[in-house]
Amino acid sequence: MKPNELSFDIATLRAAYLAGSVTPAQVVSEALRRIGDDPHRAWIRVLPAGELQARAAALADRDPATLPLYGIPFAVKDNIDLAGVSTTAACPDYAYVPEKSAFVVQRLIDAGAIPVGKTNLDQFATGLNGTRSPYGACRNAFDPGYVSGGSSSGSAVSVSLGQVAFSLGTDTAGSGRVPAAFNHLVGLKPSLGLLSASGVVPACRTLDTISIFALTADDAHRVFSVAQGFDAADAYARPAEPHGFDFGRAAAFRLGVPRRDQLEFLGDAAYAEAFDAALGHARALGAELVEIDFAPFLETARLLYGGPWVAERYQAIRDFIDARPEAVFPVTREITLGGARLLAADAFAAQYRLRALKRTCDAVWNEVDAVLTPTAPTHPTIEAMLAEPVLRNTELGLYTNFMNLLDYAAIAVPAGFTPGGLPFGVTLFAPAHQDVPLLHAASRWQRALSGRAATLGATGVPLPAAAEVAPALPSGQVRVAVCGAHLEGQPLNWQLTQRGARLVARTHTAPVYRFHALAGGPPLRPGLVRAAEGGAAIEVEVWELPARHFGSFVAGIPAPLGIGKTLLADGSSVPGFICEPAGLDGAQEITQHGGWRAFLAARAAAPHS
């Protein structure tokens, strides 16, 4: 395949590199060709061709298989440092040239990725629309008359147009999610502290995180796997914790949705209809939709710009804006200087209210695994945004502003298009450290889309074939396959559920087992035995339980049963029930029934003597 015909999603690029059909030098040349004269105003600075070719040449003698992001071109939001390249935060008079790259950027470069340049943004990351830049309003990838979303505007547009494979943004109030929704992308807003903020110009230091834009959820997962890592130099960094139950891969999961009367689309009927369609998509994936009271989330969102976090934005650039107020973009200056008037007492009052709201909001996790909302209530034109810049921008944060205040992880995913041809997106969110289940859920969501919705950004290229991505973080969970009395609804299922186990999948073993009803009892027990020949596929359920409870579960299993490895129909192996050969003495073979429930039903229907 010629470079100009190559999709820039990571899976496709990596396959091309491994096959030897393309080189990093060809890819960076193609990236420069696609950027051209940048009519969308996505870039503040593109690195010179010579520098990019030097970076590509440094990979020439490396084996692509040894670097997870070998030769993958990416963009960096221009409030994140790239060594030797000016960081402007979209304010030319603020610019400085860092000696070293941001912690996350360096991790990506070390993994083989090639930074192509620095992207446009709402100045000092203050805004959700993409118009607040002296480098020009960044234009939407689908319709240049509409906002791109911000503040990570150029980062999203460059990926959507297929100029780079992924990009880094930042997210304080939705800047990693709103641009994803408006440009048909995946936008991962990780748990706070998992991606280092070292080398990032802060907006609100206590709330900021680097975010990831990608064409697919699997690509976002690949980048997150490389980028995350504890940085002791970042005072707000924290180590990753096990994520627990992986609802993203479960056969059934509980998904919270705002009550119908609490949804707001600002009169945009197309967005309202698109969200209804998204609810249907969620149900088709096995989600049980649970209506929740969204009022405390909305109140939390209003705290962001009505409370002390505006003062934190002022503090981030205090020395500069006090000395050079005229150098700051007018609407950004107005908002930021408003933070100088707040009192310390206001900060404490807002913190008290936030603490109470978080207690209320967190209670939802007793009822659901994740929550689904629209990413934005509507999609305004650039003209409408410039006419009322503060009001229109505030509206865009309706479903995003609360996220970092409440310390949740979130991922924005494509969900289709409006009749007018503009993308519509939704957001899934969950408690901190649930990044991997969210990524799995987003991948499953995206791969179940069809038609135009199942394309990459604004490129029109179909999704690539699915490929397994190693989880970026540990789960702290153990999966176990059960085939008898521990099945859902059976007498011993409580031994799983009381340990917090959740059903992940209903499936079958590989066709290599023989199945028996063991002698003795009660209770009646099954015996699953690997067969050298003449085996069959047997119905099983896969459950997931916390690793700390797995030992006590196994300890309660009586002989001749135990736990070994069960080979499933998809070729994977999980811990599962096995039977010692001695336990088959006097047993009745029931392989022909194909599962425990079918055997019990046949037994109940049989005439008794």
Residue 314 region by backbone torsions, left for phi larger than 0, else alpha for psi between -120 and 50, else beta: alpha
* Residue 3 included in any domain: no
Query: Do 483 and 417 fall within a single domain?
Result: no
Question: How many CB atoms within 10 Å of residue 353?
Answer: 14
End-to-end CA, the chain: 72
Question: How many CB atoms within 10 Å of residue 263?
Answer: 18
Report the alpha-carbon distance of residue 595 to residue 364 in Å, rounded: 37
Last residue of a domain, one of 437, 462, 487: 462
Query: Do 238 and 386 fall within a single domain?
Result: yes
The DSSP call for residue 512 is -
- Both tokens of residue 6? 């190559």
pLDDT at 342: 83
Query: Do 369 and 485 fall within a single domain?
Result: no
User: 241 by DSSP, 3-state: which?
Assistant: coil
Residues 126 and 132 sit within 8 Å (Cβ to Cβ): yes
pLDDT at 601: 95
Query: Do 87 and 228 fall within a single domain?
Result: yes
Among the listed residues 7, 151, 160, 167, the single catalytic one is: 151
Query: Do 458 and 484 fall within a single domain?
Result: no
Report the alpha-carbon distance of residue 417 to residue 537 in Å, rounded: 42
Q: How many CA atoms lie within 13 A of 191 on its CB side?
A: 23
* Residue 153 included in any domain: yes
Say which CATH number the domain at 507 has: 3.10.490.10
Last residue of a domain, one of 427, 462, 497: 462
Residue 343, amino acid? L
User: Is the pLDDT assigned to residue 140 strictly greater than 60?
Assistant: yes
Query: Do 277 and 332 fall within a single domain?
Result: yes
Pairing of strands 502-508, 455-456: unpaired
Q: pLDDT digits over 412-461, tens only? A: 999 999 999 999 999 999 999 999 999 999 999 999 999 999 999 999 99
Is 175 annotated in the active site?
Answer: yes
One-character DSSP codes across 117-137: EEE--SGGG--SSS---TT-P
The DSSP call for residue 463 is P
Share of the chain above pLDDT 90, in %: 89
- Both tokens of residue 166? 């992924």
Query: Do 426 and 485 fall within a single domain?
Result: no
Is 198 annotated in the active site?
Answer: no
Query: Do 249 and 369 fall within a single domain?
Result: yes
Among the listed residues 101, 155, 175, 475, the single catalytic one is: 175
Residue whose structure tokens are 């509206």: 395
Residue 494's Cα: distance from chain center in Å? 32
Residue 214's Cα: distance from chain center in Å? 10
Report the alpha-carbon distance of residue 169 to residue 321 in Å, rounded: 23
The DSSP call for residue 461 is E
* Residue 127 included in any domain: yes
- Both tokens of residue 536? 């069959």
Question: How many CB atoms within 10 Å of residue 482?
Answer: 25
Q: How many CA atoms lie within 13 A of 290 on its CB side?
A: 15
Question: How many CB atoms within 10 Å of residue 320?
Answer: 16
- Both tokens of residue 320? 């500069």
Pairing of strands 573-579, 526-530: unpaired
Please work out, in degrees rounded to the nearest 5, the angle formed at the alpha carbon of residue 403 by the alpha carbons of 398 and 407: 165
pLDDT at 608: 61
- Identify the CA nearest to 181 among candidates 284, 275, 290: 275
Report the alpha-carbon distance of residue 78 to residue 85 in Å, rounded: 10
**Host domain of residue 204:** 38-49+63-462
User: Is the pLDDT assigned to residue 411 strictly greater than 90?
Assistant: yes
Q: pLDDT digits over 338-356, tens only? A: 888 888 888 899 999 999 9
Task: Name the pTM for this structure.
Answer: 0.91
Q: How confident is the model at residue 4 (pLDDT cuts 50, 70, 90)?
A: confident
Query: Do 430 and 485 fall within a single domain?
Result: no
The pLDDT of 205-223, averaged and rounded, is 97
Mean pLDDT for all residues in the chain = 95
Query: Do 363 and 420 fall within a single domain?
Result: yes
User: Is the pLDDT assigned to residue 609 strictly greater than 50?
Assistant: no
Among the listed residues 77, 152, 191, 475, the single catalytic one is: 77
* Residue 446 included in any domain: yes
* Residue 54 included in any domain: no
Q: pLDDT digits over 567-608, tens only? A: 999 999 999 998 998 889 999 999 999 999 999 999 999 876
Query: Do 400 and 517 fall within a single domain?
Result: no
Residue 126 region by backbone torsions, left for phi larger than 0, else alpha for psi between -120 and 50, else beta: beta
Residue 510's Cα: distance from chain center in Å? 32
User: Is the pLDDT assigned to residue 285 strictly greater than 80?
Assistant: yes
Helix (H) or strand (E) holding 326: none
Last residue of a domain, one of 398, 430, 462: 462
Please work out, in degrees rounded to the nearest 5, the angle formed at the alpha carbon of residue 119 by the alpha carbons of 113 and 121: 140
Say which CATH number the domain at 84 has: 3.90.1300.10
Query: Do 557 and 493 fall within a single domain?
Result: yes
- Go through the chain and tell me how many residues it has: 609
* Residue 244 included in any domain: yes
Lowest mean pLDDT, pick from 31-35, 546-550, 605-609? 605-609
pLDDT at 553: 96
Count of structural domains, the chain: 2
* Residue 471 included in any domain: no
Pairing of strands 73-77, 166-171: parallel
Residue 91, amino acid? C
* Residue 585 included in any domain: yes
The pLDDT of 216-222, averaged and rounded, is 98
Report the alpha-carbon distance of residue 201 to residue 394 in Å, rounded: 22
